[in-house]
Amino acid sequence: MELTLWTYEGPPHVGAMRIASSMKDIHYVLHAPQGDTYADLLFTMIERRGQRPPVTYTTFQARDLGGDTAELVKKNIKEAVERFKPKTLLVGESCTAELIQDQPGALAKGMGFDMPIVNLELPAYSKKENWGASETFYQLTRTLLKEKVSSSDKINPLRWRELGRRPKVNILGPSLLGFRCRDDVIEIQRILSEQGIDTNVVAPLGASPDDIQRLIDAEINICLYQEIAEASCEWLRRNFGMEYTNTIPIGIKNTIEFINEVHEKLDLPLTNKEELENKSKLPWYSKSVDSNYLTGKRVFIFGDGTHAIAAAKIAKEELGFEVVGLGTYSREMARQVRATAKDLNVEALITNNYLEVEDAMKKAAPELVLGTQMERHSAKRLGIPCSVISTPMHVQDVPARYSPQMGWEGANVIFDDWVHPLMMGLEEHLIDMFKHDFEFVDGHQSHLGHTATNTNNILNSDEKKEKNSKEGIIWTESGRAELTKVPFFVRGKVKTNTEKYAILRGIPEISDETLYDAKAYFS
């Protein structure tokens, strides 16, 4: 039993709903009690969808449990098929139905329909949403393509030459309730098209069962979100020899590496290599003098595996930040996140508990947080600017404007979204210059919209801490005065470091000089 106050991911059948709702001509009969229909609002409210998710809930009640719930399942399947006429039927259970073991998938298969039926077994008491989405997409792909396995030769990624056409790829993984998927797909298709590569199928977003059966018309697969598509890509590789990409095109370096990888797999010469770096404004904006102040900014990153890993790379290599924390709630991607964290010399935080993330954030004393909507709230409480980089989805993460994370435009969006919450470089310089003027009041930095770290608060909380401090360290007038001169966003860190130094050296009173000694010691 796990005490959960808030969860980053829903149950696995919500993952299945994401796949079903992303696609056309599919219907999902979900054996579930009333109440589970809440999941519809994730699509109709958060994504503002104008259609209901294609889901029929069997809505069993306590009084049905003594009777024949299997008959109820069959009745709902029959009605759903007659009404919605899907080309493929998904059948599964939510957590409660799993316990009563009606095996709705087997029931559906015995009803004599001629459409393909996918029996979804998604263990609700051990797995979560992304796993459910991945498994559903995999089972669907397998069901719709398994008959073609033996009859097909392995796909030669170079066959486009013999066929006398442009190479074709599939883009796999984008789905509803995925972070900026709608726009990432457009951006990636545009980039591929510029390189002379055609998109065969995008799935699951916007695809029909017929499209899934056409997947093998492409030479290779683009695995755009590993959380959702890796299992399917791997099955297509094993059974049809289709290679798939590993690079996630978020950030300039990754986008270029991604383009390279695609070209290598297709044996397509890359002719515009030197142009690529200038496709986005990020490299120049990052190089321009105003961005000098970004150097070494302490950034704390938490999100799904794909976006957290990409953010760490961009932060360090493309914006010159210092990554002081990295973590994910995607247990399936823990290994990769740990490897990335190790390269950055930080310990990876793998957890589904947002309070643990908040604690880690507090300890890391970052100047910028890149996280989910929950980290945005935590950061707000701590008075730290934050930009959202990952699901779980919030209505704000589905902006009206074109706003991808991937490719060239994605890099532009990322530069703006991450840098604007910080102060502009020149502005920061000016604040530093004028902060001793009497007109200047701490906490007026409008970008940050918070007052949590103004001087009074820090000193008040200092006093409280001081009295409780078992080490009994005292801040003298001069030490205190000097501390107020430190920019507010690093003041907490400076204070902790100075006290640490004082304890280390057995200094009972902290003066202005101690502050400078500590500064030199830790630099």
Partner 1 sequence: MSKVEFNKETGPREVFCGLTSIVWLHRRMPDAFFLVVGSRTCAHLIQSAAGVMIFAEPRFGTAILEEKDLAGLADAHEELDRVVNDLIARRPEIKTLFLVGSCPSEVIKLDLATVAEKLNKRFLGQVRFVNYSGSGIETTFTQGEDGALKALIPLMESSNEEKLLLVGTLANNVEDRFKKIFRNLGISNIESFPPRQSTELPKIGKNTKVLLTQPYLSDTVRDLKHRGCEIISAPFPLGIEGSTKWFLAAAKAFKISELKVHEIISPLINRAKLALDSHKEILKGKRLFLLPESQLEISLARFLHNECEMDLIEVGTPYLNKDLMKEEINLLPDNTKIVEGQHVEKQLDRVRESNPDLVVCGMGLANPLEAEGISTKWSIEMVFSPIHGIDQAADLAGLFSKPLKRNQILTSKTLVTH
Q: Do 97 and 60 touch, CB atoms closer than 8 A?
A: yes
x-marked contacts with partner 1 along 89-108 as a string, rule CB under 8 A: -----xxx--xx--------
Q: How many residues bind partner 1 (CB under 8 A)?
A: 58
Shortest gap between Cβ of 123 and partner 1 (angstroms)? 7
Which residue lies nearer to partner 1 by CB, 61 or 152? Answer: 61
Q: Which of residues 58-77 bind partner 1 (CB under 8 A)?
A: 58-62, 65, 76
- From CA 474, how far away is CA 268, in angstroms rounded? 68
Hey, which residues between 4 and 33 contact partner 1 (CB under 8 A)?
Answer: 4-7, 9-11, 13-14, 33
Among 119, 291, 336, 373, binds partner 1 (CB under 8 A): 373
Q: Is position 34 an interface residue for partner 1 (rule: CB under 8 A)?
A: yes
Q: Which two tokens stand for residue 198?
A: 């055609």
SS (H, E, C) 475-506: ECHHHHHHHHHCCHHHHHHHHHHHHHHHHHHC
- HSE-up of 335 (CA within 13 Å, CB side)? 3
Return the number of the residue (31 or 168) whose C-beta is nearest partner 1.
31
Other Cβ atoms less than 10 A from the Cβ of 159: the count is 14
Adjacent-strand bridge partners of 202 = 171
Using CB under 8 A, pick the residue from 67, 71, 83, 292 that binds partner 1: 83
Tokens of 375: 């980290």
By CB under 8 A, is residue 40 in contact with partner 1? yes
Does 450 sit near partner 1 (CB under 8 A)?
no
d(Cα 370, Cα 327) in Å, to the nearest integer?
A: 11
325 scored as a contact of partner 1 (CB under 8 A): no
Q: How far is CA 382 from CA 227, 313, 369, 458, 506, in A?
A: 31, 25, 11, 12, 30
Stretch that binds partner 1, among 118-126, 277-285, 318-326, 334-342 (CB under 8 A): 118-126
Q: Please name the residues in contact with 462: beta carbons below 8 A apart, sequence gap of 6 or more.
A: 475, 480, 495
Tell me, rounded to whole angstroms, the distance of Cα 249 from its chain centroid.
14
Does 401 participate in binding partner 1 (rule CB under 8 A)?
A: no
Minimum CB distance to partner 1 smaller for 35 or for 196: 35
For the annotated catalytic residues, the residue numbers are 290
User: Does 507 participate in binding partner 1 (rule CB under 8 A)?
Assistant: no
Choose between 183 and 499: whose C-beta lies nearer to partner 1: 183
* Sequence-separated (6 or more) residues with CB below 8 Å from residue 409: 183, 187, 280, 402
User: Minimal CA–CA distance to 158: which of 308, 269, 83, 12?
Assistant: 269
47-55, 257-265, 296-304, 481-489 -> range binding partner 1 (CB under 8 A): 47-55
Based on the shown chain and the rule CB under 8 A, indicate whether residue 3 belongs to the binding site for partner 1: yes
Residue closer to partner 1, measured from CB, 4 or 272? 4
Q: How far is the CB of 53 from partner 1 (least distance, A)?
A: 8
Residue whose pair of structure tokens reads 């095109």 in the numeric block: 249
Tokens at 173, concatenated: 């993984």
Q: Is 355 in the site for partner 1 (CB under 8 A)?
A: yes
Report, in Å, the least distance between residue 117 CB and partner 1.
19
Give CA 53 to chain center in angstroms.
Answer: 22
Choice between 42 and 333, CB closer to partner 1: 42
Interface ranges with partner 1 (CB under 8 A): 1-7, 9-11, 13-14, 33-42, 44-46, 48-52, 56-62, 65, 76, 79, 83, 94-96, 99-100, 123-126, 128, 355, 373-374, 377, 381, 394-395
